[in-house]
Amino acid sequence: MPFESDLELRHHAGQEQWEVIRPLFYKTRAGRLVIVPVGYRTDLASVPRFAWRIVPRDHESARRPAVVHDYIYTDLTKTFSKAEADQIFYEALLEEGMHKPLAWLMWCAVRIGGRGNWGR
């Protein structure tokens, strides 16, 4: 399994974000390692509230992929392109057991609306 650690988060009352309290390690299909560091803050899947019934932002199969995707999007070193980040997200969703149609829908959402530090 490409995730080499469990996801451990701390939620801060009154905030929309969670804090990573143990590093999250993910190895992409291309063999590249992504390490989400302790202290990184995420909102999990950035799903608009009206869509939560279809795609809950804390869906069990989406948690780790969403945190990795968020981290890649905010990584200032730009190790991955936006297209690579979105593809990694899709592959990780499938690896976590998400049904292909839902994973595809989430991938479409990040391709259309995802914004990292690419200035687009």
User: CA 97 to CA 12: how far, in whole Å?
Assistant: 28
Ramachandran sector of residue 14 (left: φ over 0; alpha: ψ -120 to 50; beta: rest) = left
The residue ranking higher by pLDDT, 6 or 61, is 6
Would you place residue 12 in the very low, low, confident or very high pLDDT band (cuts 50, 70, 90)?
confident
Residue type, 119: G
Which of 44-48, 78-82, 116-120 has the largest mean confidence?
A: 78-82
Rg of the chain over Cα atoms, rounded to whole angstroms, equals 13
Q: What is the pLDDT of residue 52?
A: 61
Would you say 114 and 82 are in contact if contact means Cβ atoms under 8 Å apart? Answer: yes
User: Whole-prediction pTM value?
Assistant: 0.85
Q: What is the pLDDT of residue 120?
A: 41
Residue 119, pLDDT > 60, answer no
Query: Which tens digits make up the pLDDT trace of 15-66?
Result: 888 899 999 999 999 999 999 999 999 887 666 556 666 666 667 888 999 9
Question: Percentage of the chain surpassing pLDDT 90?
Answer: 48
